[in-house]
Amino acid sequence: MSELTTFFATCAPGLEPILHKEIQDLRMAKVERQVGGVRFSGKTIDMQRANLWLRTAGRVLMRIARYEAHGSDGLYDGAKEVAWENWLKPGATLRVDSQTRDSDLDHSRFIEQRIKDAIVDRVTDLGWSRPNVVGEEADLRVHAHLFKDRVTLSLDSSGAALRKRGWRVAQGRAPLAETMAAAMVLHSGWDGRSPLVDPFCGSGTLLIEAALWATQTAPGSFERTFGFQSWADYEPKLWKRLLDEARAQVKPLGKAPILGYDSSSQRITEARANLENAGFADKIVLAKGDATNFEAKRGWNAHILTNPPYGVRVGDEQQMVPLYMGFAKHLREVGAGYHLTLLTQPTLVASLGMPQLAQIPVRNGAIDCTLLKGDL
């Protein structure tokens, strides 16, 4: 890849500005915010750096072809022209996903099948045996995007979603995605040196992502593999160099406390297992406690970073109102001067009674949420 390639880092809707800043900070070229992600340009090393360092991206897609396709044969012909052998290894497995909008071809399954046919025909023409088409764990994951009959083919350089960092051993009950937790840390403005508290810590996601950021630990530097490692052009030496550099520059955590509370002992046990695996067991303090009266020191310049429960089923939210009111009351009593960053459902925002907080809408998995931030 001597010329620059176009990449698209995906993210949860609402997080685009945060991801945009992350990619700019990595000094990528031609960084452009889009809906649902950020486009940038770079070389192989940049694709590897993006997978290693981006905290809020879902996946990093590498664009390999763009063409007009009117009809099924046009789709097939364009896909067959792509030099798949540059990335697909003989004997490797394959998976194709697609999205289509405002196009003649409007049936995803059919689009995926035609592209698979083109790839299989291309490599069997080269004398290879047929690649196996599989589900989740394919060696080469292809994304096809059709918009107004224009096809964009990309390879998923991440493989497993980037939120699967490799530190999580315990799920908890409704764990926040690591990427969303990291976005909250970046959005909060926490400096890594003042006290940080998650009074509804669950499995510890926010605490761990905060500590990863504060220690400048690359989120991709745990034990996991990436899609690009199964490609024919994979450069393991380059990846090893990037990983070694990242691991060598990790900083120690500051002296200010990082604390997590949860009313469930089961969650605290799970958070402890995760902290241990992430290497922060002796640095972050966990305790069983109620968010409506957790221990907090007056005059601390603390950041509260949290994701309170919002009820599992639609309609359950209202049962949470007393908890939100109690939590907000406690914060008002002990937390003058504290900073708060909180993720919840829009219907629960009013029960905090904190109109001074700035709100941005974000999509958290399948749920529309509001990310709140401000001073107490």
Applying CB under 6 A, the residues found at the interface with ligand SAM are: 172-176, 199-200, 202-203, 205-206, 261-264, 267, 290-292, 307-309, 323
Cβ at position 136, least distance to ligand SAM in Å: 23
If residue 240 lies in a helix (H) or strand (E), which one and from where to where? helix 236-248
Report the 3 state secondary structure along 157-176.
CCCCCCCCCCCCCCCCCCCC
Cβ at position 303, least distance to ligand SAM in Å: 15
Cβ at position 317, least distance to ligand SAM in Å: 12
325, 219 in Cβ contact below 8 A?
no
**Closest CB to ligand SAM among residues 94, 208:** 208
**Gap between the Cα atoms of 19 and 85, Å rounded:** 32
Report the candidate in 230, 183, 214 with the shortest Cα–Cα distance to residue 57: 183
**Closest CB to ligand SAM among residues 57, 323:** 323
103 token code pair: 């196009």
Ranked by CB distance to ligand SAM, the top (closest) residue is 202
Cβ at position 328, least distance to ligand SAM in Å: 12
Report the 3 state secondary structure along 63-127.
EEEEEECCCHHHHHHHHHHCCHHHCCCCCCEEEEEEEEECCCCCCHHHHHHHHHHHHHHHHHHCC
Cβ at position 142, least distance to ligand SAM in Å: 32
**Closest CB to ligand SAM among residues 56, 205:** 205
Report the candidate in 187, 186, 178, 172 with the shortest Cα–Cα distance to residue 206: 178
Other Cβ atoms within 10 Å of 66 Cβ, number:
13
Cβ at position 279, least distance to ligand SAM in Å: 18
**Closest CB to ligand SAM among residues 173, 298:** 173
**Closest CB to ligand SAM among residues 78, 202:** 202
Supply the DSSP symbol for 13.
Answer: T
**Closest CB to ligand SAM among residues 32, 333:** 333
**Closest CB to ligand SAM among residues 100, 307:** 307
Residue 103 class from Cβ within 10 Å (0-12 exposed, 13-18 middle, 19+ buried)?
middle
Beta carbons within 8 Å of 322's beta carbon, 6+ residues apart: none
Cβ at position 370, least distance to ligand SAM in Å: 14
Cβ at position 352, least distance to ligand SAM in Å: 14
85, 122 in Cβ contact below 8 A?
yes
Q: ∠ at Cα 55 (308, 365), nearest 5°? A: 45
**Closest CB to ligand SAM among residues 2, 265:** 265
Beta carbons within 8 Å of 148's beta carbon, 6+ residues apart: 101, 102, 103
Q: Is 304 helix (H, G, I), strand (E, B) or coil?
A: strand
Supply the DSSP symbol for 175.
Answer: P
Query: Residue for token digits 């003042």?
Result: 194
**Closest CB to ligand SAM among residues 40, 280:** 280
Cβ at position 139, least distance to ligand SAM in Å: 31
